Amino acid sequence: MNTLVEQYRKLERTGLPCPLCMVGTGHAPCAVQQPHLPRILYRDGPTTRSVQRAGETMLLVVTGRRPELAGHERRNQTFRWLAAFALLRGLDCVVVSPANVRYQRGVPWRVFGWQLNCADGEWERVAITLQQPVWLDLMYLEDIARQRTAYRRLQQQTALAGQPYVNPPLPGKDELYRLLSGRSIAPACIPETQRVDSVQPIWSLLADHGVVWLKPTFGSGGRNIVRVTSCAPDVYRVESEMYRGRRLDQMYNAKQLKQFVDQMIRGRPYLAQEPLWLLTTDRGQPVDLRVTVQRDGAGAWRVTATTVRIGREGSLLTNAHAGGTYLSWAAPSAERVRMLSGVPLTDQEVRRAERSAIRAAGALEAHFPLLGFLGMDVTPTRECCFVYDFNTKPGRDILSDAELSLMMARHAAFAAHLQKTAYGSQSEA
């Protein structure tokens, strides 16, 4: 059989770096021998072809579309990295959409998907009967909207069947804040947060802080977040960068604010949160940190990337969807100094924010053992680092190539860890 060195050389000619060193050609040969890979047959249209698979251990990558799309080169590279790292971990990687999963007595047992052929570096269609699968959820929000029913069924049935599913459905953010609020997770702290079932929690927070943030409990990207400021007796300013597709800046009295809140929460759960005063640049741009954390091959939480997010001048938010920009903290220091003029952000503060994200993620893992990766929004203050938002589908666009390849490596490593812990006794038998 071919060695891994020979396989990776073939993959490099198609643009895939070696998973051992994450660089292209010119690196030292990888002195790792490839295990024997059984050959299987599958049917693709009118012909039958032969491909190689890494035995019976499977990583099923859940996404909405095929792994390679014209005009999406970075996305294409992402799935190639993941397939190669999975191979290195002894996992047979198949990319599949929820609509292409078949069930037997309610148990996922067969998928029609895509697999990277190591011989020629091309993705090929496969039909595979599942054996000891580990599922990795990489669905984008627009993918979920197109396949919502099939997606929910897959999540439910994998849980019932006891098949590991990395990043299973979590409750709303209000519940996540509740779970963390009673835990000791220093240097992290959690802002005061209440579920909004009526206008009453808003009056309470306004009385204490003068400002309150209203957020969808299942929101992302800064969409439909509203800030309410008490300006004078019976005068309230309501602002949003993107509320139901438009910018909002209105002055309301108490009756009008109640009507607005009643309409806002109709059919969509919201939370109310105390204000956090973000760092700002000399030009008044808000700044915070997105800390992307993952579990590694031992199941421990690690920081994969720390991204500085910088909002527009005068903006309420730092999100890219609201016009913000971003910069990896690993970027050259001269570029950081230029973009972060006047921001008192040091390596020490960033390390404190990263420790905070790790502590918060570990506390959530105690409740959700299959939680594997998170994007944490953190703002450092003198007293602590506020962890004020969680994202189970953190955007990959803000990551550098090195950070993205590291993310894929850790996805594969954690999947291999789950495969051993979930099926180890079966494999030995």
pTM for the structure as a whole: 0.85
Sheet strands side by side (includes 226-232): 193-196, 270-273, 211-216, 226-232, 235-243, 246-252
Q: Which residue has the higher pLDDT, 362 or 382?
A: 362
Q: What is the pLDDT of residues 261-286, one digit of tens each?
A: 999 999 899 999 999 989 888 888 99
Instruction: Sort strands 246-252 and 270-273 into parallel, antiparallel or unpaired.
Output: unpaired
Compute the mean pLDDT over every residue in the chain, rounded to the nearest whole number: 85
**pLDDT category of residue 343 using cuts at 50, 70 and 90:** confident
Give the Cα separation of 23 and 119 in Å (integer).
19
Q: What is the mean pLDDT of residues 165-176?
A: 93
The H or E element spanning position 11 is helix 4-12
Res 399 pLDDT > 90: yes
pLDDT of residue 27: 35
Q: What is the pLDDT of residues 5-64, one digit of tens each?
A: 454 445 445 444 444 444 333 333 333 333 333 333 233 333 333 343 434 679 999 999
CB 81 within 8 A of CB 11: no
**pLDDT category of residue 419 using cuts at 50, 70 and 90:** very high
**pLDDT category of residue 360 using cuts at 50, 70 and 90:** very high
% the chain with pLDDT above 70: 86
Q: What is the pLDDT of residues 112-165, one digit of tens each?
A: 999 998 777 889 999 999 989 999 999 988 889 899 999 999 999 999 999 999
Q: What is the pLDDT of residues 36-50, one digit of tens each?
A: 333 332 333 333 333
Res 426 pLDDT > 70: no
The H or E element spanning position 423 is helix 401-428
Pick from 35, 30, 33, 34: nearest CA to 12: 30
Complete DSSP assignment for 64-112: SS-S--TT-HHHHHHHHHHHHHHHHTT-EEEEE-GGGEEEETTEEEEEE
pLDDT of residue 56: 60
Q: What is the pLDDT of residues 307-327, one digit of tens each?
A: 999 999 888 888 887 788 899
